[in-house]
Amino acid sequence: MCGIFAYLGPKSNSAQIVLEGLKKLEYRGYDSWGIACRRDSGEIVIEKHTGKISDVSSLKKELTEEPAHIAIGHSRWATHGGVTDMNAHPHASEEKEIVIAHNGILENYESLKKDLIEKGHKFVSETDTEVFAHLIQENIGEGFEQAFKIALSKGAGRYALIAISKNEEKILAARRGSPLIVGTGSDEYFIASDIPAFLKYTKKVMYLDDDQMVSLAKDGITFTDLKTDKKIEKRTIIIDWDEKSAEKGEFKHFMLKEIMEQKMTLTRAINQDEEKILEVAQAIKTAYGTYIVGCGTAGKVGMVGTYLFSHIAQKHINFMFGSEFSSFLPFMKDKSLMIAISQSGETADTLEAIEEAKKKGVKIVSIVNVETSTMARISDIVIPIKAGPEKAVASTKATTSQLAILTLLAYACAGKLDEGKRLLVATASQINDMLNPRYENYIREIAEKIQNVESMYIIGKDLNYPIAMESAIKLQEVSYIHAEGFAGGELKHGPIALISKGTPCIAIVANDETKAGIISNATEIKARGGYIIGVSPENNSVFDFWIKVPDAGMASPIVSIIPIQILAYQLAVLRQNNPDMPRNLAKSVTVK
């Protein structure tokens, strides 16, 4: 969510550069935007608006009439405070001495704001972000950089923070949990939430990691570890991307393009009509039995849903595959509810299940990507996942969007919709950070090691048991490797007999109460010669190869499936398969 972009360099039209960069970040989702530029005289000028950046071709003359070699910009998705010009970023301290933009949530802003007001600071917005500007101003006597560090030390929560001062020709930025990437050009610097913002100017990037800050100035760039306050060196990475090319853009295949698009599609999925989400939640709470129906990948998503509703809302939800639905039809009543899940909205087995349920007066809710599909037309309520066209047969971005919708519904059922939104916004930001060339290349290393195996297995527990089965689908679909997903605790009841020396086994390990159990299961596999690939927020001695994912709580299924999507893609390419068009499969299964 939200987008940050800033420029420092020899070009004097910095505000216009930032405007164009923000347009490249529109996919991140936003409801307002703003730009601040530091004129060469030291004066900082700000322009802020609600609405679309793409509708704007030029800025007010105050930002462009005088040379300005420093500018910062932000596209905001409202959390604290309504969608107004005043609440839009950037935010300033008194006299615009300090101006900042911020992604994330300052969790302790209320106590900090109260203290600052008592010290005489005056606030003009409803946001948590403005507190950061005043915190820096409060300690400006220590110097801009030191005041910036003090403000960071006082703030709690996740952030990507960027600041300028009217007294210094530099940009300061730091992150904890929310992405920031530095681009380096010819005597010029860019910093952004994602690479497309500055790809027109440079392909050289440096990644800012958690609890690090960067200072951009005319005389160079400096990175600092905020925990030790020591300077650190950063490696420059060359991004092999074209700004624009064919329909696939810079990607060789639609599958990879769509995996990487999950930076954007999750944000769109979260941005739902709140009244509709609450309407469906109420229907679930009052229904005489709620049944989730789906096929293939959508079916595995539905299985995850049963766990989500149990944990979050303490609500029992039934699941069945569309092709097996007829066996459960006798339980359906006119007060029952069906939640049907499909990417295409044309899945034959699911459509038949809906039609049979409608004959009994069952209310139908569809979670679907194609809003003009048959499923959408025959449903009582449609929740669009907004993933955009998904052309690869193996579903990736639609899958995580569907998971996001079910997570929202579970939180809404529990009366905690805002909490669910915050979790998913944070998760979307972390996924944006995951999906970079370093991560992709790292996963390719393990693909190269296991590309010639005949079989592999995936284990998970609780929320990630269905994800283990979905992981197997992805590997089957495009790599053509025999893959199976199991509940970790079921290994000893048969499947462990399949393990021999060198057998690859993926262990999906969430950082929750299931962790010890699934680690124990992985240990049992390793003791019999298995090669353990851990997908987890933390490394463990049992892992032979570790793929790191964010610690995302109830959103763990979303972050856990993404690296396995990448692994499946890499295996397909290495095995010279076409990942977009796997054999024997079609995108929309319109026959029974």
Judge whether 2 counts as a catalytic residue.
Answer: yes
d(CA 509, CA 547): 11
d(CA 481, CA 485): 13
Q: What burial class does residue 98 get, using C-beta atoms within 10 Å of its C-beta: 0-12 exposed, 13-18 middle, 19+ buried?
A: buried
| Amino acid in position 181 | I
Judge whether 587 counts as a catalytic residue.
Answer: yes
Give just the sign of the alpha carbon dihedral 494, 500, 505, 511: positive
∠ CA(4), CA(7), CA(13), 5° rounding?
A: 120
Which of 2, 37, 295, 413 is labelled catalytic? 2
Residue 320 contacts residue 336 (beta carbons within 8 Å): no
∠ CA(525), CA(527), CA(531), 5° rounding?
A: 55
- State the DSSP code for 41: T
Residue 367 contacts residue 350 (beta carbons within 8 Å): no
Residue 190 contacts residue 173 (beta carbons within 8 Å): no
- State the DSSP code for 492: G
Residue 198, SS3 per DSSP? coil
In DSSP notation, 49-88 reads EES-GGG-SS--HHHHSS-EEEEEEEEE--SSS-S-TTTS
d(CA 470, CA 493): 21
Which of 149, 333, 587, 592 is labelled catalytic? 587
Q: What burial class does residue 191 get, using C-beta atoms within 10 Å of its C-beta: 0-12 exposed, 13-18 middle, 19+ buried?
A: buried
Cis peptide leading into 495, omega within 30 of 0? Answer: no
Beta bridge pairs of residue 98 = 165
**Catalytic annotation, residues:** 2, 587
